[in-house]
A = this chain, B = another copy of it.
Amino acid sequence: MPHDESKRLHKNAADLKTLALQLGLSQSTVSRALRAHPGIPETTRLRVVSAAEAAGYRPNARARSLALGRAETIGLSFPLERLQLPETNFVDVLAGISTAITSRNYNLLLSPFQGDEAAVLRRLASSKAVDGIIITRPLVDDPRIALLNELRLPFVVHGRSEVEEPYSFVDTDNDNAFERLTTLLLDYGHRHIVAINGLAQFRYVAARAASFRRAFAARGLTPPPDAIEFVSMTEATGYETAMRRLSDAKRPTAFLCGSVFQARGVYRALGEHGLKVGIDVSVVCHDDGVRGFSAADFVPSLTATATSIRSAGEELALILIDLIEGKVPGPIRKIMPFELVLRDSVALARPEP
């Protein structure tokens, strides 16, 4: 360390001990004054605080978290690919989480993983690197929930699972949104609707499929078994699926998409078939409010159930922090609201030829 002396030239109090020394007080008093503990008279507190400020003192987070048993840090565990795929709403969730932790003065530890997520969660828990964790994309029957309960690490799930275990979550209102979208198309006279859903292993996909059928059932109808397509949430699959279904013997009159990415593919497929969206064929969609993919910007603009996945991210982090700090008791369940925004992509179904 060639510059060791220069460090001492700044009369910065690097630690509590020297700060206490400078003030002629004990570490305990200084520590308590800085944390505004009751029993410390206001005058001392002010004296200590201003001395700390002048010295540029900040408590050592490592020592503090060891003594306190809390690190004021939350973790986010996610498969590395979610940052690599072009079409992902993950970044928006991350932005929401970032906003929340900034406002609550927490830190965010990113835990990307490849392969075994359980191992990552175990490591995070037993190494006490974080006070709690956010997990995403739960499966229908997700083993991580039981694991985290067993590890006694506070956690919040983005989405729901079917497990019996108690857990906190923030989820999109899939049930109502998809029922609403389906009902809208039915109202407009559509009966031959293709729902482009996500991959069946995720719980929200099942929920959406059920809502779709429920909307039909509410009018005494039953959609044909092939009405729902279970494919990934990308433009490419939206395109391929639409292309395939448009060459069905009986062409669908409407498409319901799970994401704006898929909807974009559907628009393209319709264009290639020379069909006009909102005239020849109707399209509706669920819109998570992903940056740069607004349903409002589609041409023609896309009727959609709008929600903010960014707000969901904020909510996730806020709930987790409340849980960690014991401000709220048991499992918190939060369903994010949505609204149906009517735009130009839906027309009355043409009478059957």
| From B58, B85, B99, contact of A123 by CB (8 A) | B58
Most chain-B CB neighbours within 10 Å: which of A101, A108, A111, A129? Answer: A129
A63–B7 CA distance with the chains assembled, in angstroms: 25
Query: With A86-B291, A127-B59 given, is the CB distance from A108 to B109 under 8 Å?
Result: yes
Interface stretch, picked from A35-43, A65-73, A153-161, is A65-73
- Other 15 A-B pairs with CB < 8 A, given A59-B127, A61-B128: A3-B152, A56-B122, A56-B126, A58-B127, A62-B62, A62-B65, A62-B66, A80-B99, A83-B95, A83-B98, A91-B91, A102-B114, A107-B111, A109-B109, A109-B110
A101–B114 CA distance with the chains assembled, in angstroms: 12
Instruction: Place the interface of chain A in its size category.
Output: 35 or more
A113 located at the interface, meaning its Cβ lies under 8 Å from any Cβ of chain B in the complex: yes
- Contact across chains for B112 and A110 when beta carbons are under 8 A apart: no
| From B7, B71, B109, contact of A62 by CB (8 A) | B71
- Contact across chains for B62 and A292 when beta carbons are under 8 A apart: no
A60 located at the interface, meaning its Cβ lies under 8 Å from any Cβ of chain B in the complex: yes
Copies in the complex: 2
| From B61, B65, B114, B291, contact of A85 by CB (8 A) | B291
A57 located at the interface, meaning its Cβ lies under 8 Å from any Cβ of chain B in the complex: yes
A236–B102 CA distance with the chains assembled, in angstroms: 30
A94 located at the interface, meaning its Cβ lies under 8 Å from any Cβ of chain B in the complex: yes
A87 located at the interface, meaning its Cβ lies under 8 Å from any Cβ of chain B in the complex: yes
Query: With A108-B109, A152-B7 given, is the CB distance from A127 to B83 under 8 Å?
Result: no
- Which residues of chain B come closer than 8 Å to A123, judged between CB atoms? 58
A247 located at the interface, meaning its Cβ lies under 8 Å from any Cβ of chain B in the complex: no
Interface code A179-217, partner B: CB below 8 Å = 1, 0 otherwise?
000000000000000000000000000000000000000
Supply 24 A–B pairs (Cβ within 8 Å), ascending by A: A7-B152, A56-B122, A56-B126, A58-B122, A58-B126, A59-B127, A60-B128, A61-B127, A61-B129, A62-B128, A73-B109, A80-B95, A80-B102, A83-B95, A83-B98, A84-B95, A84-B291, A84-B310, A98-B110, A98-B112, A107-B109, A107-B111, A107-B129, A109-B110
Q: Is the interface of A mostly helix, strand, loop or mixed?
A: mixed
Interface code A1-30, partner B: CB below 8 Å = 1, 0 otherwise?
001000100000010000000000000000
With both beta carbons as reference points, the residue of chain B lying nearest to A94 in the complex is identified as B83
A293 located at the interface, meaning its Cβ lies under 8 Å from any Cβ of chain B in the complex: yes
| From B60, B86, B87, B126, contact of A127 by CB (8 A) | B60
A108–B87 CA distance with the chains assembled, in angstroms: 23
- Shortest CB-to-CB span from A228 to chain B, Å, is 26
- Which residues of chain B come closer than 8 Å to A59, judged between CB atoms? 127
With both beta carbons as reference points, the residue of chain B lying nearest to A292 in the complex is identified as B86
With both beta carbons as reference points, the residue of chain B lying nearest to A114 in the complex is identified as B102
- Which residues of chain B come closer than 8 Å to A129, judged between CB atoms? 61-62, 107
Most chain-B CB neighbours within 10 Å: which of A66, A123, A152? Answer: A66
